[in-house]
């Protein structure tokens, strides 16, 4: 029996009892229109929240006409594996131009090279592998260490776990930027790289990249700037009248940078660009085997087979928008973020964390901020919960720039604060979990809960 019907919907399985559940390949194929209709129903319902403009981050474009154009571009190469360049030499043109355009935007030079990856995590993991190998081949370091701020993305911890790299986590200052004095004091003979963010996921802030770059130059080590979040939005800030600190490859000492095309580059999920300066560093993470019975094997990055469709869609997005398109969208995002910040500042119960141009983080010393989040959630908002310190952020994207969204947020924030002053239950419903709208903050059981959640995401019901 290939299908069953479950009567028990749950948050992760809301379609149980509504659509058939498939536990094996059906004996006879299901009609295409039935399949497409099921997908159409689910996707239409699920897009409503993101399209409403009441979601922090997650949906970066929200322009379904743009998506349609990218899907058309994707379709020309949906079946193509760009590993086979003799069959699909166009991939070299598309991929190289994506890298070159991104490098130009981020002040790379003739000695800047790069890779296309599947997203921010692969870009960060690949960068750390590169520094491990570079430290071994160029400096003879067999026990590599990397120093990063506690606010840096946890995908870096994944890299350290995978590749046996020791991490030294630097605290942040009262401004939530990496403590340069701590970094300086902890650089040692095994240090291969430093890390800074532009901007940080929790607060959208730019670490002091010039100061980190100077330390990297003094010690002859690498400096990776994680621009996965901010890499395609921050470059337009200065010329639009929103000054930001120097953060990219134009800063002396920066030797690599990541920037996600599938975020503020408005490409399809998942694509990211990883840049190296000098470009010779790129080859440190190449993988090659000469004596395999199947032939010589050479892989330029973590992935083997890769979709030509995603590369074509990313290339198409960058060309179709152009600098003018990126600037126009960025101006709307910066304006909306300024309006959100004004709404937060209007409440003495709330405190802004930094002054990000696009990612508004705020906390409270007098209220449980997660009760505020509950109040917002009841009014249809999906914020991101943060911890250390407990806070929320509103990462402003294109859907949030729609007329009336920031005004609605200001109104609902006022009501959410009143809700938090006298909540119906002592414990808030929401908490802080990356990639989710909120979870019960029971720290004694947090890891068991996370395992159950991850298991549930991969099992039928």
pLDDT digits (tens, 9 = 90+) for 145-163: 999 999 999 999 999 999 9
Q: What is the pLDDT of residue 453?
A: 60
pLDDT, average across residues 90-95: 93
Residue 153 makes CB contacts below 8 A (sequence gap 6+) with 120, 124, 197, 201, 226, 228
Higher pLDDT, 1 or 302: 302
Residue 224 makes CB contacts below 8 A (sequence gap 6+) with 124, 127, 128, 131, 193, 194, 195, 196, 254, 255, 256, 257, 258
Backbone angles phi, psi at 458, to 5 degrees: -120, 15
What is the bridge-based pairing of β-strands 3-4 and 21-22? antiparallel
Residue 425 is given by DSSP the state S
Give kind and range of the element (H or E) at residue 344: helix 308-345
Q: What is the pLDDT of residue 110?
A: 95
Distance CA 116, CA 268 (A): 13
Distance CA 209, CA 218 (A): 14
- The dihedral sign for the CA sequence 350, 357, 311, 281: negative
| pTM reported for the whole predicted model | 0.91
Angle (deg, nearest 10), helices 308-345 and 90-105:
20
Our CA dihedral for 57, 60, 64, 69, rounded to 10 degrees, sits at -160
- Reduced to 3 states (helix: H, G, I; strand: E, B; else coil), residue 256 is strand
DSSP symbols for 219-245: HT-EEEEEETTTTTTGGGTGGGT----
Residue-wise pLDDT for 372-418, tens only, equals 999 999 999 999 999 889 999 999 999 999 999 999 999 999 999 99
- Reduced to 3 states (helix: H, G, I; strand: E, B; else coil), residue 78 is coil
Domain 81-306 matching CATH 3.40.640.10: the answer reads: yes
Question: Could you tell me the pLDDT band of residue 438, with boundaries at 50, 70 and 90?
Answer: very low
**Is pLDDT of 306 > 70?**
yes
Mean residue pLDDT of the chain comes to: 92
- The token pair that represents 156 in the structure block: 């870096």
Higher pLDDT, 80 or 446: 80
Q: Whole-angstrom distance between the N-terminal and C-terminal Cα of the chain?
A: 15
Question: Could you tell me the pLDDT band of residue 444, with boundaries at 50, 70 and 90?
Answer: low
Give the burial class of 81: count Cβ atoms within 10 A of its Cβ; 0-12 exposed, 13-18 middle, 19 or more buried: middle
**In angstroms, what CA-CA distances link 108 with 29, 80, 96, 100, 371?**
51, 30, 14, 9, 45
Domain extents for the chain?
A: 1-42, 81-306, 323-456
Question: Could you tell me the pLDDT band of residue 459, with boundaries at 50, 70 and 90?
Answer: low
Q: Are 129 and 285 in contact (CB under 8 A)?
A: yes
Question: Could you tell me the pLDDT band of residue 317, with boundaries at 50, 70 and 90?
Answer: very high
Please identify which residue in the block is written with the tokens 């006022």. Answer: 414
**Is pLDDT of 227 > 90?**
yes
CATH number corresponding to 323-456: 3.90.1150.10
Higher pLDDT, 265 or 2: 265
Question: Could you tell me the pLDDT band of residue 297, with boundaries at 50, 70 and 90?
Answer: confident
**Is pLDDT of 7 > 60?**
no
Q: Are 4 and 460 in contact (CB under 8 A)?
A: no
- The dihedral sign for the CA sequence 298, 300, 305, 311: negative
**In angstroms, what CA-CA distances link 23 with 37, 137, 245?**
20, 49, 53
Task: Report which of 452, 427, 432 is spatially closest to residue 390, judged by C-alpha positions.
Answer: 432
Q: Are 124 and 155 in contact (CB under 8 A)?
A: yes
Distance CA 70, CA 92 (A): 19
- Reduced to 3 states (helix: H, G, I; strand: E, B; else coil), residue 110 is coil
Distance CA 415, CA 392 (A): 16
Q: Are 169 and 179 in contact (CB under 8 A)?
A: no
Q: What is the pLDDT of residue 363?
A: 97
Whether a cis peptide bond, with omega within 30° of 0, leads into 389 is yes
Distance CA 9, CA 6 (A): 8
- The dihedral sign for the CA sequence 151, 156, 160, 166: negative
Distance CA 346, CA 414 (A): 9
Residue-wise pLDDT for 328-350, tens only, equals 999 999 999 999 999 999 999 99
Higher pLDDT, 85 or 46: 46
pLDDT, average across residues 238-264: 97
pLDDT, average across residues 243-247: 96
Min mean pLDDT across 24-28, 224-228, 264-268 is at 24-28
């Amino acid at each position: 029996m290939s299908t069953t019907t479950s009567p028990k919907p749950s948050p992760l399985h809301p379609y149980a009892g509504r659509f058939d559940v498939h536990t094996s390949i059906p004996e006879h194929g299901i009609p295409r229109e039935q399949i497409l209709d099921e997908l159409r129903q689910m996707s239409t319902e699920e897009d409503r929240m993101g399209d409403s403009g009441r979601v922090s981050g997650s949906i970066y474009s929200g322009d379904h006409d743009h998506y349609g154009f990218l899907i058309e571009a994707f379709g020309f190469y949906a079946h193509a594996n760009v590993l086979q360049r003799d069959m699909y030499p166009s991939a070299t043109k598309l991929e190289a131009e994506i890298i070159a355009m991104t490098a130009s935007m981020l002040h790379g030079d003739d000695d800047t090279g790069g890779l296309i990856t599947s997203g921010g995590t692969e870009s960060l993991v690949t960068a750390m592998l590169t520094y491990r190998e570079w430290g071994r081949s160029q400096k003879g370091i067999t026990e590599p260490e990397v120093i990063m701020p506690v606010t840096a993305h946890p995908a870096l911890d994944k890299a350290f776990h995978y590749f046996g790299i020791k991490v030294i986590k630097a605290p942040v200052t009262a401004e939530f930027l990496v403590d340069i004095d701590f970094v300086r004091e902890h650089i040692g003979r095994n240090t291969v790289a430093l890390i800074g963010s532009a901007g940080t996921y929790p607060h959208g802030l730019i670490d002091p990249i010039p100061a980190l770059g100077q330390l990297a130059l003094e010690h002859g080590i690498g400096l990776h700037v994680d621009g996965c979040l901010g890499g395609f939005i921050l470059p337009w800030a200065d010329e639009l009248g929103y000054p930001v600190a120097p953060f990219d490859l134009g800063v002396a000492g920066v030797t690599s940078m990541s920037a996600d095309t599938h975020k503020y580059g408005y490409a399809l999920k998942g694509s990211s660009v990883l840049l190296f300066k000098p470009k010779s560093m790129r080859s440190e993470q190449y993988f090659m085997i000469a004596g395999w019975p199947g032939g010589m094997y050479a892989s330029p990055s973590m992935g083997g087979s890769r979709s030509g469709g995603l590369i074509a869609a990313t290339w198409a997005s960058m060309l179709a928008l152009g600098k003018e398109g990126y600037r126009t969208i960025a101006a709307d995002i910066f304006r909306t973020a300024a309006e959100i910040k004004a709404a937060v500042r209007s409440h003495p119960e709330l405190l802004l964390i930094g002054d990000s141009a696009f990612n508004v983080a705020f906390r409270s010393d007098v209220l449980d901020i997660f009760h505020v989040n509950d109040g917002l959630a009841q009014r249809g908002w999906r914020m991101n919960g943060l911890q250390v310190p407990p806070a929320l952020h509103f990462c402003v994207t294109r859907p949030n720039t729609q007329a009336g969204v920031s005004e609605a947020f200001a109104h609902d924030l006022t009501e959410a604060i009143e809700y938090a002053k006298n909540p119906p239950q002592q414990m808030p419903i929401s908490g802080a979990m990356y990639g989710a709208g909120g979870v019960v903050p029971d720290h004694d059981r947090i890891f068991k809960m996370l395992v159950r959640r991850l298991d549930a995401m991969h099992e039928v019901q």
